[in-house]
Structure 1
């Protein structure tokens, strides 16, 4: 544990801005003297007390509720003081300043500062201390931020399940099974002279197969959870006047982008996050893709930005105008865009052909892709379902938990190590040391998810994304 983790911390724990209630939180060791200075009395643990919060001269900064939590029975595992005041930013800043001032004052009984070293908390430091003091594991700590940032009801409920420990229980179950298998292999290595075939009698192959199946099950859930958290980035691309802005407005159910018959109306990127069955979709409208005369400098910048968005998309909706299909210049430009899309995008990025203006097309043509009308809404539901299918979404179950991309990658590594371990196990005694190493590496990958094994820089990256009061 780093030296800064021993220092007491203080921060505003509620969101910036004005509100009915704001909270200032202090966490550290032996807060009784600070409590006396701020509240003018001691507090009964875990019981809300209404009182004035005193300034240095004894005058009240505000009146509110004070709560004291004694270690280890607190969120951080340390002594915690929460001051619940009126939610004005100036009031809360005054309370933080008073906490820092009171902490530096000398306690007349001890002749020492009331709370030496009190400082303003860094982002995520309260949750980091909860993790370091074994109140929560790393996956649960991340779920706190995910619950706060959830953009859909499904994501919020899944984050709540992760915070309650559902995801961690799955990981711990995998780890326990892996540890048991490691013990069998290590015993065989330690006692090679024994005639008993430890691995065969203990059904090591069956245990490994069951473990591989369990990992794939959890990996599938984690992929779904990561999709709930991250969503997918969908870029609408195509020639000018194909109806890209109209499609964005139709999907969003609001007039977000300006729609006119003038080519080049959309000059910049317009983005809106919508949800389909709880999955966030970040839909991006881009400038029409074209070249040649009539493209001014501003539109060229918009087209360059459009290609930048396309190259970073999870899926691209290539929008075609059914009313112009068959026109030589239009078909030629569409073919050129199609060639560029497939040459610049990896195979993992889907390009979905969408044929717009079905309501105005003279003849209904059979083409690969989806026919729709952004104006009437015809075909929009089919498009939504195809986007979910392309993203790999399956109907959410009640037991789904939130997950992050790093969790998915860690589980992928576990799966790969177990596949190699399976090959070594088939070779029996010749490769048992390699088998043991693959199982160890698989366990390390599992431990990274919950934090039993993790590097300090990984912790720094995770908790630095939190808000200050968490």
Structure 2
């Protein structure tokens, strides 16, 4: 596998594959390469004015016109990558863009032009200080957003809202740490340090601010990752009907015949901007049918990956308590620790006979009764609070880094409250806290992790 330099001139199609009205080919390189390429590709007399659209024909080596469109030149450092960037906007046909890309590579080959790797334009923006790592990740999250709420939260992260919060609390940690390290250099002041600098109060304030940041990040993680909701229950209890009711369309077959659903059926919906992946499963019961047995096993496998399990019970069935307890026992053996299992009694519009121990909610998948309450309950179970104005997207690695930083803050609080605080240990815990925060922004992130993060981007971004 070839090893590329971050200084190589690069090019790629920046728009999505398929047909469209406009397609963009993007180049990023140093000033001299871009200026030379413009003359080689368009003619020796060409000179493009910065950030102006120039209408030009795009020709091949024989002078035959490939297409015609706009060329935009963004000189460094005021460009997406921080390098000089040239964008050619042609018609969005895949063949046209492929021919244009091939001709661009031919013209620039002698000067080292190569095809960009996935995410390499955004990686260069990060390496050149245009954005930090959390903002770079927000680019991919904005592209991949599946709900309006996730898109808005990703946009806030991209604009620097998440980074700003990290910097704000991090600066306070640095300031307190600097005071502690200064007093270590002048030990004669150590006796009065904790009281004179209000170190305990300041550290407590930082910790409370940090806890709010963690809460906001967890909310953002819900928006980004979404929630997997698995429906389980006896055959013909109404799982498919509930699936259709929540989805707002007939995505699952509904009949009076027990055992209609033999395999998983999935559909994604959005509640208050949160993406929920609904999984309808085969009814759980004792059976000798080989195909149905496979379906039941797949039901239990789906339970293992659930964020919430909805255990549906027929409210009109006199034996529902006994059957429900059998199913619940199987579910609890397979569900991950901490995953909520909600008992949902269906057909409550009929002659309900509910005799269940513990929390439950009643609905009618046929009439829609109780569905709004069920939706709100789902959001409550995952800890969602609808405060979009203060939400930004957070990834799992962000949450892990925040948890690690928080552990160091807790140790620092323990040290500062001792009768004779060990200032050297206190300063070290604050240093480690800052190091964990820097991991989020890419200030202390290893190169192999950077490569993994950007490799998941699409080519051209």
TM-score between the two structures when normalised by the length of structure 2: 0.95
Partners of 2:282 and 2:424 in 1: how far apart? 58
Task: Say if 1:184 and 1:199, in contact at 8 Å, map to a contact too.
Answer: no
Q: Any conservation in 2 of the 1:188–1:199 contact (CA below 8 Å)?
A: no
Name which of 143, 160, 167 aligns with 2:162.
167
**1: CA distance between counterparts of 2:407 and 2:202?**
16
Counterpart of 1:316 in structure 2 is: 309
2:342 aligns to what? 352
Total equivalences in the alignment: 454
Give 1:305's aligned residue: 298
Between stretches 366-375 and 214-223, larger displacement belongs to: 366-375
- Where do residues 336-375 of structure 1 align in structure 2 (5 Å cutoff)? 336-361=326-351, 363=353, 368-375=359-366
Displacement of 1:230 in angstroms is 1.1
Is 261-270 or 130-139 further displaced after alignment? 261-270
* Change in CA separation of 1:439 and 1:306 when aligned onto 2, cut-off 3 Å: same
Aligned to 1:49: 54
Corresponding residue of 1:424:
415
2:198 to 197, 200, 203: 203
Q: Distance in 2 between matches of 1:143 and 1:362?
A: 49
> Structure 1 residue 37 and structure 2 residue 30: aligned?
no
Correspondence 1:43-442 to 2 at 5 A: 43-104=48-109, 113=110, 116-194=111-189, 197-293=192-288, 295=289, 297-324=290-317, 326-327=318-319, 331-361=321-351, 363=353, 368-427=359-418, 429=420, 431-442=422-433
Gaps of 5+ in 1: 105-112
What's 1:461 paired with? 452
Q: What are the Cα deviations for residues 143-177 of structure 1, in whole angstroms up to 9, with x where unaligned? A: 11111111111211111111111111110001100
Gaps of 5+ in 2: none
Give the match's secondary structure for 1:398. helix
Q: Determine the C-alpha separation between the residues in 2 that align with 1:242 and 1:98.
A: 62
Q: Deviations over 1:201-239 (max 9, x none)?
A: 111111111110110111111111111111111100111
Counterpart CA distance in 1 for 2:16 and 2:321 is 53
C-alpha contact (below 8 Å) 1:10/1:25 kept by paired residues: yes
Q: CA deviation at 1:362?
A: 5.0
Partner in structure 2 of residue 24 of structure 1: 25
Secondary structure, in 3 states, of the residue corresponding to 1:197? helix
Aligned match for 1:447, one of 418, 438, 447:
438
Q: Over residues 40-95 of structure 1, what are the superposed CA-to-partner deviations in whole Å (9 max), with x where a residue is unaligned? A: 32211111101011211122211000011111110000111100000001111111
TM-score, normalised relative to structure 1: 0.93
Q: Distance in 2 between matches of 1:214 and 1:430?
A: 23
Q: CA deviation at 1:340?
A: 2.0
How far apart in 2 are the matches of 1:419 and 1:83? 53
Pairwise CA distance, 1:333:
3.3
Moved more, 196-205 or 14-23: 196-205
CA RMSD of aligned residues (A): 1.7
